[in-house]
Amino acid sequence: FAALEKADPEIAEVVLGELSRLRGGLQLIASENLTSPAVLAALGSTLSNKYAEGYPGRRYYGGCDQVDVAEELAIQRAKDLFDAEHANLQPHSGASANLAAYAAFCEPGDVVLAMDLKQGGHLTHGSKVSFSGAWFEPVPYGVREDTELIDYDQVRDLALAHQPRMIIAGATAYPRLLDFAAFRQIADEVGAILMVDAAHFIGLVAGGVIPSPVPHADVVTFTTHKVLRGPRGGGIVCREQHAKALDRAVFPFTQGGPLMHAIAAKAVALREASTPEYADYAARVVRNATALAEGLAAQGMRPVSGGTDTHLALLDLRELGITGADAEARAGKAGITLNKNAIPFDPAPPSVASGIRVGSACVTTQGMGEREMTVIAELIGAAVRGENEAAEAADAVAAVGDRVRALAENFPAYP
């Protein structure tokens, strides 16, 4: 860091500013986490310099002996951790991993059945503004209006009617477990590939606290930076029969040179994720998310689907008469970072949204427990309501901000 301060004080200041933002507030973005110093060390290493197109032992560049070791370790650790036949840690991101999965199994114009973006799916699951909707023929499925759980009857009906080439299970804002066996059965019935996008929950699978999609899916794509707590990036595990197609779809079809520093950092995170301490963390992530959802329910926010089985909760704010966008802004002013989110059948446009999404991974990494989740829920309630009720709204938010800072400083990020 001393070298950075000397060479570029402006960027050094940004790095320090971000650290104090993390230390002074509460991070509840469900897709974020705080990686370990070991992961950061690998990311900031000389491995960043190396070109290594290809795969270990089969590179298009010389001098790859060291990075080969790093990538082999990453692959082996992913295979061991997820009990998978094949792994590829080269995808630069979750979206890149998904692009590779489409490329491996689909031709342009093929029908892909995936969760509706408006009901919790990801942009890469068929949105027209993404390659997935521009180059493929998306058929969206969703949740039942009464239970807010995935409507498996609808998934099956749509699969039978549209005969998709690929079915995607996985979402960005779905708080419940997925029934991988049901998806497998539907995929088999219509001869479709089953892709599970485990970006959000792979870290809970790694900790053994929720069921694994690996035995059911043809291919599982994931991100390494969410609950899994690795560097920003993507990964893929699959059955051996699809290994060649997926490897080729990553490189050379959709990517060039791999980011060897990131792959080394993924190896570090996968090693960390195989420890008993990590399994304990993963269990606490789920307990904390449940406590947070219950606490927010007590503040008048309705947990979509009645609660959560994972690291995230989606809250419907309509009873409070506050939009998701306003809640995000007010919580932000008090030092609580969360995001507005559409709820299923949301009457509001996505830029406004009727809900918020919260996740427990960062605060769990900081060592907070269920007691702190109850306090955080109260703080969110006070911040979100403050401006509505009090004439001296700014003071109300400032008072919440002081409590937020005190709590965050008791459990410092990167102590």
Nearer to ligand PLP, 176 or 330 (CB): 176
Site for ligand PLP (CB under 6 A): which residue of 90, 124, 132, 290?
A: 124
Nearer to ligand PLP, 95 or 204 (CB): 95
Residue 344 interacts with ligand PLP (CB under 6 A): yes or no = no
293 contacts 314 by C-beta, under 8 angstroms: no
Residue 346 interacts with ligand PLP (CB under 6 A): yes or no = no
Residue 94 interacts with ligand PLP (CB under 6 A): yes or no = yes
233 contacts 74 by C-beta, under 8 angstroms: no
| CB neighbours of residue 375 within 10 Å | 15
Q: What residues between 216 and 235 interact with ligand PLP by CB under 6 A?
A: 223, 234
Residue 339 interacts with ligand PLP (CB under 6 A): yes or no = no
Helix (H, G, I), strand (E, B) or coil at 219: strand
One-letter identity of residue 399? A
77 contacts 267 by C-beta, under 8 angstroms: yes
83: which 2 tokens?
């009990």
Q: What is the separation of C-alpha 219 from the centre of its chain, rounded to a whole number of angstroms?
A: 17
225: which 2 tokens?
């930076």
Residue 172 interacts with ligand PLP (CB under 6 A): yes or no = yes
Stretch that binds ligand PLP, among 126-134, 197-205, 354-362, 393-401 (CB under 6 A): 197-205
Give the Å distances, CA to CA, from 409 to 18, 405, 414. Answer: 15, 6, 11
What CA–CA distance (Å, rounded) separates 126 from 111?
Answer: 10
Assess whether the previous peptide bond of 252 is cis (omega < 30° from 0).
Answer: yes
Stretch that binds ligand PLP, among 153-161, 168-176, 249-257, 280-288 (CB under 6 A): 168-176
Residues 6+ apart with CB under 8 A from 118: 142, 342, 344, 346, 350
Residue 95 interacts with ligand PLP (CB under 6 A): yes or no = yes
If binding means CB under 6 A, how many residues of this protein chain bind ligand PLP?
15
Q: What residues between 306 and 335 interact with ligand PLP by CB under 6 A?
A: none
Nearer to ligand PLP, 261 or 385 (CB): 261
Active site residues: 51, 53, 197, 223, 226, 232
What CA–CA distance (Å, rounded) separates 261 from 159?
Answer: 41
Question: In the bound complex, what is the minimum distance in angstroms from residue 232's beta carbon to ligand PLP?
Answer: 6
38: which 2 tokens?
């070991």
Residue 200 interacts with ligand PLP (CB under 6 A): yes or no = yes
Q: What residues between 243 and 302 interact with ligand PLP by CB under 6 A?
A: none
Tell whether 121 is in a known binding site: yes
Q: Interface residues with ligand PLP (CB under 6 A)?
A: 31, 93-95, 98, 122, 124, 170-172, 197, 199-200, 223, 234
